[in-house]
Amino acid sequence: MKIAVIGSGYVGLVAGACFADSGTTVVCVDRDERKLRLLEKGEVPFYEPRLGDIVKKNWPERLTFSSDLGTSIRGAQAIFIAVGTPPREDGSADLSHVLGVAEQVAQLAEHDIVLVTKSTVPVGTNRKVLETARAHTKFKVSVVSNPEFLKEGDAVNDFMKPDRIVIGTHDDRAFEIMSRLYAPFNRQQNRVIRMSPESAEIVKYAANSLLAAKISFMNEIAQVCDATGGDVEDVRIGMGSDKRIGMHFLYAGLGFGGSCFPKDLRALVDTGSRLGIDMAISRASTATNQVPVQVLLANMERDLGGLAGKTIAIWGLAFKPGTDDVREAPALAIIAELKQRGAQVRATDPQARETALESMKASGTDDIVTLTPRPYEACEGADALIIATEWSEYRNPDLERLASLLRSKWVFDGRNVLVPQAAGEAGLNYRGVGRPVVLAGK
């Protein structure tokens, strides 16, 4: 089979590379010539484990890159739309790129086309894409909703071994093409779920919103634990042992970030508003997600006797481990607050220093931050350490060394990765999220 993937960002490149690795002939299309040249060298413009190796393995036999849309879609049995749907100020998804691609493809088509929306889009987009394409071509157009369910940091594994493959279409021929395309990832058991385009469009938003709600709920429970002396880790295990609930996404911490949960929650709330439905739970999840950073800062200000003139070390800038994505990362929200309160920051991250610096320059917070690739160097002479991202290398540090480097001996564990008692025995003051405070030597 031959397919074209329009958009070589996170979703499009992962999909294109993984399809190519399964034997499909793939052309990834992008307007950014510099990005295309980098990809031809096997250089992926963002950090995602294993992705660069797959790109190198399949280029140029099964995977090629082009800015020529007309040539790229010629003979393609499916054309994937994987361009951005950035949020507008009101939270709604901007579909101009998606509909623009649909129009261009239709104008250039030389045969019947199957358009596949891979971008995360609100319900009703399938119909808009179909109407747009049909208005600009004489050929038959079928539109399939095929949402992605990729976790940053584990996207290749998610694509290769999916929990489910959602295909939303009323067209039997289009469904057959999609089934053949996904067959290599579907051999062990049938993971294909066929449904209406509307249902497929809702699935992605519904799944992300429920997962985000679990995180926000656990952060509320963490506040209850802080107020009463409970330990949210014990509560988590007690809750998660119930098979109806499960352990996934029951971790208290600094809240969620990234490109999906915040954007998708806002888009779902906007969709509900347009339909006259109050998406109260999704709204509350978004609001609750802002609280943990403020709680941490309030605790830090009290424990340190103020933040003005203090130097704070931060381990972790990405919104989660395994990625260099800092979009809506709690660490950057903390840095913005620390600037307002007169503090200085020394920060580190295994992968996200460059993306964080770019974001901080845009927000005007880079002037208080010193970046270093070495975690312990960030702590030298600092008044306190915040663990903001649960990278594996931060889970079992040399606690005695940390105690010797930090002036106030305070560690604020925003991801609950350290063992509190071990931190206290090493001479550190420890405060997690929803966990009992442990003081040095106690």
For the chain, domains (ranges, CATH) are: 2-195 (3.40.50.720), 204-288 (1.10.1040.10), 291-431 (3.40.50.720)
> Rounded CA gap, 116 and 101, in Å?
11
- Which of 433, 414, 413, 415 has the alpha carbon at shortest distance from 423? 413
Q: What is the pTM (predicted TM-score) of this model?
A: 0.93
Going by pLDDT thresholds of 50, 70 and 90, the confidence category of residue 332 is: very high
- Check whether 264 has a pLDDT greater than 80: yes
Average pLDDT over residues 339-358: 98
What confidence score (pLDDT) does residue 256 get?
96
For 200-249, how does the pLDDT look when each residue is reduced to its tens digit (9 = 90+)?
A: 999 999 999 999 999 999 999 999 999 999 999 999 999 999 999 999 99
Question: If you average pLDDT over residues 186-198, what whole number do you get?
Answer: 93
**What does the pLDDT read at residue 326?**
97
Summarised one tens digit per residue, pLDDT across range 83-138 is: 999 989 888 999 999 999 999 999 999 999 999 999 999 999 999 999 999 999 99
Strand 78-81 with 63-66, pairing: unpaired
Candidate from 27-31, 256-260, 407-411 with smallest mean pLDDT:
256-260
Instruction: Just list the catalytic residues.
Output: 260
- In the structure encoding, which two tokens stand for residue 158, read together? 């998610």
**Model confidence at 367, in pLDDT bands (50, 70, 90)?**
very high
β-sheet bridge partners, residue 193: 166
Average pLDDT over residues 273-278: 96
Confidence of residue 189 (pLDDT cuts 50, 70, 90): confident
Query: For residue 441, what pLDDT band results from cuts at 50, 70 and 90?
Result: confident
- pLDDT higher than 90, residue 187: no
| Main-chain phi, psi angles of 110, to 5 degrees | -120, 10
- Could you give the C-alpha distances from 220 to 79, 250, 287, 434, in angstroms and in order? 44, 11, 11, 9
Confidence (pLDDT) at 259: 84
Task: Tell me the percentage of the chain whose pLDDT exceeds 70.
Answer: 100
